[in-house]
Amino acid sequence: MLNLVANNSMVTEHEEVPDRITVGPSGPKPRRTLSRRNIVVYGTLIVVALYYLLPLYVMFMTSLKGMPEIRVGNIFAPPVEITFEPWVKAWAQACTGLNCDGLSRGFWNSVRITVPSVIISIAIASVNGYALANWRFKGADLFFTILIVGAFIPYQVMIYPIVIVLREMGVYGTLTGLIIVHTIFGMPILTLLFRNYFAGLPEELFKAARVDGAGFWTIYLKIMLPMSLPIFVVAMILQVTGIWNDFLFGVVFTRPEYYPMTVQLNNIVNSVQGVKEYNVNMAATLLTGLVPLTIYFISGRLFVRGIAAGAVKG
């Protein structure tokens, strides 16, 4: 809001300037530098924006071309003959090792990994954040600090002990195991997110509910939950994109038949056998990127909020 106001006043200032061009040196100077500056500012931003868009454009164009056209043509040129065959092939026929049922398998694996991981991790972290914000007990801060500091430890340090724990539990290599891992590593950032959000809610609400005799779960379900839908959406965006894009955990903690989409994509594109079909590869790459991209473009500002919080996750 403040910015908007400032913005308007700036615009009117600039519009007044032209009348005073001939009056004195103090008048015209800001205008000229400003218009020249505008060219530089917009010019740079447009060039930068084109640079950022280029890979997406090239991916899309390549995925719509036939292989003969790719061999003779230029990657920036739009397709002469549009074909959707690479998309079909990427989805249903592309091979990884002996399996030739395309990326669809990886897609459904990713769905089966992402949905429960997101729900479980958010459920646990939100209740936990609520406990930390409103029902502090002795020692809670210590564990919380360990959790936050632990978020900076490289995953590679903890991978093997987790393999052992999961093996002991009998879930190593299964989707359940991977879901547990995602829940664990989502916990620091989500707990921080929820704790800070709940701590920011007016304390009177909580006190009033307690005076009325509401307990831990009642307050959480009846008061906190309905009041904090935005933060749940932010957490969901954060988790869905994070888990969908994960590669390391997928490759470490699952068997090939459960590989998530990113792992399968990498195997399809970087497998050495056969002729490289760049159009199919790009179609597959776009398909994998489609889920987080859709979330990104739909959620807009909330995504920015999510990553500002999630940036710590690295």
Task: Tell me: does residue 161 bind another protein (CB under 8 A).
Answer: yes
**Which residues between 73 and 102 bind another protein (CB under 8 A)?**
74-76
Task: Pick from 17, 111, 119, 124 the residue near another protein by CB under 8 A.
Answer: 124
Task: Tell me: does residue 139 bind another protein (CB under 8 A).
Answer: yes
Task: Pick from 113, 193, 265, 309 the residue near another protein by CB under 8 A.
Answer: 265
Task: Tell me: does residue 224 bind another protein (CB under 8 A).
Answer: no
Residue that the structure tokens 């620091």 belong to: 188
Task: Pick from 21, 100, 208, 312 the residue near another protein by CB under 8 A.
Answer: 312
Task: Tell me: does residue 149 bind another protein (CB under 8 A).
Answer: yes
Q: Give 131 or 231: the residue with its C-beta nearer to another protein.
A: 131
Segment lying near another protein (by CB under 8 A), choices 83-91, 93-101, 168-176, 297-305: 297-305
Q: Give 10 or 100: the residue with its C-beta nearer to another protein.
A: 10
Q: Give 165 or 205: the residue with its C-beta nearer to another protein.
A: 165
Least distance from another protein to the Cβ atom of residue 301, Å:
8
Count of residues touching another protein (by CB under 8 A): 96
**3 state DSSP class of 37:** helix
CA proximity to 94, closest of 292, 282, 294: 282
**Which residues between 241 and 260 bind another protein (CB under 8 A)?**
241, 244-248, 252
Task: Pick from 82, 92, 208, 293 the residue near another protein by CB under 8 A.
Answer: 293
Least distance from another protein to the Cβ atom of residue 296, Å:
4
Q: Which amino acid is at 79?
A: P
Least distance from another protein to the Cβ atom of residue 304, Å:
6
| Contact indicator for 91, 102 with CB cutoff of 8 Å | yes
Cα 62 versus chain centre, distance? 25
Least distance from another protein to the Cβ atom of residue 127, Å:
4
Task: Pick from 103, 179, 282, 283 the residue near another protein by CB under 8 A.
Answer: 282
Task: Tell me: does residue 137 bind another protein (CB under 8 A).
Answer: yes
* Sign of the CA dihedral running 20, 22, 27, 32: positive
Least distance from another protein to the Cβ atom of residue 1, Å:
12
Least distance from another protein to the Cβ atom of residue 269, Å:
5
Beta strands in the chain (DSSP E): none
**Which residues between 164 and 223 bind another protein (CB under 8 A)?**
164-165, 183-184, 187, 191, 215-217
> What CA–CA distances, in Å, run from 257 to 132, 185, 198?
39, 23, 40
Cα 286 versus chain centre, distance? 15
Least distance from another protein to the Cβ atom of residue 22, Å:
22
> What CA–CA distances, in Å, run from 41 to 33, 38, 46, 89, 142?
12, 5, 9, 43, 48
* Sign of the CA dihedral running 79, 81, 86, 87: positive
Q: Give 175 or 186: the residue with its C-beta nearer to another protein.
A: 186
Cα 221 versus chain centre, distance? 27
Over the window 32 to 61, marking each residue x when it contacts another protein by CB under 8 A and - when it does not, the resulting string is -----xx--xx-xx--xx-xxxxxx-xx--
b/e code 190-214 from CB counts within 10 Å (16+ = b): bbbbbbebbeebeeeebeebeeeeb
b/e code 260-298 from CB counts within 10 Å (16+ = b): bbbbbbbbbbeeeeeeebbbbbbbbbbbbbebbeebbee
